[in-house]
């Protein structure tokens, strides 16, 4: 098994590795456009199948920003002492979950609310584009 290294010397992670790392994390950051300006918002999330589930925050601005939008979603875990860590970036399309059956099915999936404070509706982000990098010597 060969390891792909990018031009910056970082190990390139494949989709399976990236989704595996996403399944271990609970806080990510979503990059959206709000009022024609880019912004980044930390959010609690859960990976459910091939989709990222978040809750929209309260407030119309974020609701609009997450409505059928193309967004970036990033999760990382770095150790600033030993300079190891990884990052995964997803670019996907948001989808508001409004179907009653789907909401019922997802009711059992706990998404924490403390990071974003959001009490809004559930939003899924597709994982159309997934890329990841690992640096340092740590291996799974």
Nearer to a second copy, 14 or 102 (CB): 14
Q: Which of 53, 116, 132, 134 binds a second copy (CB under 8 A)?
A: 116
Using the rule CB under 8 A, is 63 a contact of a second copy? Answer: no
CA-closest candidate to residue 76, choices 137, 135, 116, 125: 135
Residue 114 contacts residue 50 (beta carbons within 8 Å): no
User: Which residues face 34 on adjacent strands?
Assistant: 37
Q: If you ran DSSP here, which 8-state letter would residue 109 be given?
A: S
Closest CA to 118 of 49, 28, 35, 51: 28
C-beta neighbour count of 25 within 10 angstroms? 16
10: phi then psi, degrees, rounded to nearest 5: -100, 145
Q: Which of 19, 21, 41, 54 binds a second copy (CB under 8 A)?
A: 41
Q: Is 105 in the site for a second copy (CB under 8 A)?
A: no
Per-residue interface string for the shown chain with a second copy, residues 65-104, x marking contact by CB under 8 A: -----xxxxx-x-x-x--x-x-x-x-x-------------
Looking at the DSSP bridge assignments, the partners of residue 54 are 123
119 lies in the binding site for a second copy (CB under 8 A): yes
Looking at residue 108, the DSSP 8-state letter turns out to be T
Q: Does 7 bind a second copy (CB under 8 A)?
A: yes
Q: Note whether 14 binds a second copy by CB under 8 A.
A: no
| Contacts to a second copy by CB under 8 A | 6-10, 26-27, 29, 31-33, 37-42, 57-59, 70-74, 76, 78, 80, 83, 85, 87, 89, 91, 112, 114-119, 129, 135-136
């Amino acid at each position: 098994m060969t390891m792909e290294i990018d031009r910056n010397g970082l190990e390139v992670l494949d989709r399976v590795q990236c989704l595996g790392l996403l399944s271990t994390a609970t806080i990510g950051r979503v990059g959206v456009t709000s009022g024609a300006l880019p912004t980044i918002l930390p959010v609690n999330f859960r990976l459910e199948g091939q989709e990222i589930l978040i809750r929209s925050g309260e407030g119309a601005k974020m609701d609009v920003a997450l409505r059928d939008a193309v967004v970036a979603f990033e999760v990382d875990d770095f150790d600033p002492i030993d300079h190891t860590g990884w990052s995964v970036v997803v670019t996907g399309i948001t989808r508001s979950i409004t179907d009653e059956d789907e909401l019922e099915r997802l009711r059992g999936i706990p998404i924490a609310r403390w990071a974003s404070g959001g009490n809004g509706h559930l939003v899924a982000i597709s994982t159309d584009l997934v890329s990841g990098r690992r640096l340092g010597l740590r291996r799974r």
